[in-house]
């Protein structure tokens, strides 16, 4: 498999090079030259296949010969070694719980896969790789955890000061060793901008061997397809495929789902569930993509005003707007609606949603109201305990704190405070 840049001004590369580079030199995103089709037998026989086997078969064409099969199978197995259950909330809506990994969010899957691939690729390289990553909340913890103590890799995480939850902050600032957290006085978009600029700054790239671990990296993006297949495996009515609602920020997760569908996975429709950051919701109405300043919401991992991966979705649909809208709808949900949804779902069904899942749930409910013959699932992207204030205020009682969170909360935060200023960031990097 070869990858081209969505800006079409850079040479094509294989999976190894795309993983190491992260972003293409022309600032485009890498995209596979062809979308491989899964064998029909995989879909028909999915209930008899192990998750490891499914994941291996899905990812193999993308990886090609850059990782030996045995190693790839090991990487895949380690990536998904926790439960990913599809839980029934009521007769029409189920929840795909993606939060049973080490940092309690779906990003563990992409981060674990990518860190292992990168570790494999730099294994015989004398240079240290510096992974630069901007996080709106959950990426930082997942990446820090995935790369912690990996030889030859330094990780620098940028996060917006005061805009991540206490659990999220602890997850990305308490590891130490090869992980550094930069606390930026600004927004997530500021953090992302600083990272983007560093990649195009020759003074930095001459000195440091940089790569990104954001969802633009193919090794984080592509393995997110796995759990769409696992969800289908657990979906009871194979004759009537699900509507899938994906709480979306940078649009990597939903883009992986759409790719899985284009590869042959049965899906009825996708919902891009957004909070007040509604540029894709607006795009589907107006056909104009107008990036905005991100606004802070309760579902903070989705506070993105200029979603990087949306260009990949346009690429999948070959820029054909009618085809896109036949498969994708979007809703924008306010914080007040998010709170009300958490409360309602808890009161009616005794199921605790986190704010991101609640945005997904309400979006799905709205779609199903106008498509009553369908059933669907929401991707529950984070554990409610990561957002205790919003959740406990909504349900009126406290949620049980998992042991892994209790131990992390007592550790001391270590971060370096910087302004949202490129000069200051650069100085820090090449000090």
Ligand X SMILES: *Cc1c(COP(=O)(O)O)cnc(C)c1O
* Residues belonging to the active site: 107
Min dist. Cβ of residue 48 to ligand X (A): 30
**Token reading at 367:** 């779609």
Rounded distance between C-alpha atoms, residue 267 and residue 6, angstroms = 25
Q: Is 140 in the site for ligand X (CB under 6 A)?
A: no
What residues have CB less than 8 Å from 230, skipping those under 6 apart?
A: 51, 54, 84, 86
Per-residue contact flags (x/-) with ligand X for residues 2 to 41, judged by CB under 6 A:
----------------------------------------
Among 122, 382, 385, 391, contact with ligand X (rule: CB under 6 A): 382
Binding residue count for ligand X, defined by CB under 6 A: 17
Q: Are 126 and 96 in contact (CB under 8 A)?
A: no
* By CB under 6 A, residue 249 contacts ligand X: yes
**Would you say 6 and 315 are in contact if contact means Cβ atoms under 8 Å apart?**
yes
Q: Segment contacting ligand X (CB under 6 A): 126-134, 248-256, 275-283, 393-401?
A: 248-256
Task: Give yes or no for residue 160 binding ligand X (CB under 6 A).
Answer: no
Is residue 137 part of the contact set for ligand X (CB under 6 A)?
A: yes
Q: Residue 139: which of 164, 175, 166 has the closest Cα?
A: 164
- The pattern of x and - marking residues 49 through 68 that bind ligand X according to CB under 6 A reads --------------------
Residue 236: burial class (beta carbons within 10 Å; 0-12, 13-18, 19+): exposed
Burial (CB count <10 Å: 0-12, 13-18, 19+), residue 47:
exposed
Q: Which residue is nearest to ligand X (CB)?
A: 138
Closest-CA residue to 30 (of 225, 226, 255, 204): 255
Q: Which two tokens stand for residue 429?
A: 């990097």
Minimum Å gap between C-beta 254 and ligand X is 6
- Which of residues 24, 105, 219, 353 is near ligand X by CB under 6 A? 105
Choose, by CB under 6 A, the member of 51, 187, 211, 253 that binds ligand X: 253
Residue 215 or 363 with smaller CB distance to ligand X = 215
User: Nearer to ligand X by C-beta: 109 or 122?
Assistant: 109
Q: Is 305 in the site for ligand X (CB under 6 A)?
A: no
Please report how close the Cβ of residue 206 comes to ligand X at its closest, in angstroms.
31
Question: For strand 376-380 and strand 153-160, is the pairing parallel, antiparallel, or unpaired?
Answer: unpaired
DSSP E strands in 126-177: the ranges are 129-134, 153-160
- Residue 302 as a binder of ligand X (CB under 6 A): the answer is yes
The CB-of-79 to ligand X minimum distance in angstroms stands at 16
Q: Which of 156, 194, 195, 301 binds ligand X (CB under 6 A)?
A: 301
* Strand pairing category for 3-5 and 30-32: antiparallel
CA pseudo-torsion sign 4, 315, 277, 327: negative
Beta carbon of residue 394, minimum distance to ligand X (angstroms, whole number): 16
Helices (H), 10-68: 15-21, 40-44, 51-63
Candidate segments 24-32, 198-206, 246-254, 407-415, binder of ligand X by CB under 6 A: 246-254
In the range 335-364, which residues lie near ligand X by CB under 6 A? Answer: 356
- Laid out side by side, the sheet with 328-332 consists of 86-88, 93-97, 376-380, 243-247, 269-274, 328-332
Q: Which stretch binds ligand X (CB under 6 A): 4-12, 150-158, 241-249, 400-408?
A: 241-249
Interface segment toward ligand X; rule CB under 6 A; list 226-234, 247-255, 321-329, 396-404: 247-255
Of 256, 317, 215, nearest in space to 55 by CA = 256
Contact region with ligand X (CB under 6 A), list: 184-192, 242-250, 409-417, 422-430:
242-250
**Hunting for tokens 């930095």 — which residue is that?**
204
214 counts as binding ligand X under rule CB under 6 A: no
Between residues 72 and 109, which has the closer beta carbon with respect to ligand X? 109
- The smaller minimum CB distance to ligand X, of residues 101 and 137, is found at 137
75 makes contact with ligand X (CB under 6 A): no
Q: Is 132 in the site for ligand X (CB under 6 A)?
A: no
Widest CA span in the chain: 60
Residue 223 interacting with ligand X (CB under 6 A): no
Other CB atoms closer than 10 Å to residue 400's CB: what's the count?
8
Contact call for residues 283 and 314 (beta carbons, < 8 A): no
CA–CA gap between residue 184 and residue 159 (Å, rounded): 6
215 makes contact with ligand X (CB under 6 A): yes
Distance CA 6, CA 342 (A): 38
State whether residue 343 is helix, strand or coil. Answer: helix
Is 247 a binder of ligand X (CB under 6 A)? yes
Judged by the rule CB under 6 A, the positions of this chain that interact with ligand X are: 105, 107, 137-138, 215, 247-253, 301-302, 356, 381-382
């Amino acid at each position: 498999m070869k990858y081209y840049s969505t800006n079409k001004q850079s040479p094509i590369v294989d999976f190894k090079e795309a993983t190491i580079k992260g972003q293409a030199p022309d600032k485009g995103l890498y995209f596979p030259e062809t979308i491989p089709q899964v064998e029909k037998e995989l879909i028909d026989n999915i209930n008899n296949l192990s998750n490891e086997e499914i994941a291996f078969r899905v990812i193999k064409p993308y990886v090609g010969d850059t990782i030996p099969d045995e190693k790839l199978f090991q990487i895949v197995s380690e990536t998904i070694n926790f439960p990913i259950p599809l839980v029934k909330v009521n007769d029409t809506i189920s929840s795909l719980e993606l939060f049973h990994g080490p940092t309690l969010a779906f990003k563990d899957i992409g981060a674990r896969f990518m860190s292992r691939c990168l570790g494999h690729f730099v294994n015989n390289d004398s240079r240290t790789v510096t992974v630069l990553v901007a996080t709106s909340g959950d990426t930082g913890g997942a990446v820090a955890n995935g790369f912690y103590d990996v030889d030859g890799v330094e990780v620098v995480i940028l996060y917006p000061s005061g805009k991540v939850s206490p659990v999220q902050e602890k997850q990305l600032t308490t590891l130490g060793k090869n992980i550094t957290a930069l606390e930026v006085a600004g927004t997530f978009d500021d953090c992302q901008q600083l990272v983007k600029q560093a990649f195009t700054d020759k003074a930095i790239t001459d000195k440091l061997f940089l790569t990104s671990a954001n969802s633009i990296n193919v090794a984080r993006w592509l393995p997110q397809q796995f759990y769409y297949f696992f969800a289908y495996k657990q979906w009871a009515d194979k004759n009537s495929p699900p509507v899938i609602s994906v709480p979306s920020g940078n649009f990597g997760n939903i883009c992986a789902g759409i790719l899985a569908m284009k590869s042959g996975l049965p899906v009825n429709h996708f919902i891009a569930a957004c909070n007040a950051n509604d540029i894709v919701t607006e795009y589907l109405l107006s056909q104009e993509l107008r990036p905005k300043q991100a606004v802070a919401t309760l579902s903070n991992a989705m506070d993105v005003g200029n979603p990087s991966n949306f260009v990949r979705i346009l690429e999948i649909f070959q820029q054909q707007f009618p085809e896109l809208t036949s498969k994708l709808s979007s809703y924008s949900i306010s914080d007040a609606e998010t709170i009300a949804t958490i409360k309602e779902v808890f009161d009616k069904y005794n199921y605790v949603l986190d704010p991101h899942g609640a945005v997904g749930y309400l979006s799905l409910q709205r779609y199903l109201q106008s498509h009553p013959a369908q059933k669907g699932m929401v991707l529950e992207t984070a554990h409610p305990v990561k957002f205790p204030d919003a959740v406990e205020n909504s349900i009126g009682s406290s949620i049980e704190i998992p042991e892994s969170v209790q131990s992390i909360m007592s550790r001391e935060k270590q971060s370096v405070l910087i302004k949202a200023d490129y000069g200051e960031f650069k100085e820090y990097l090449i000090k």
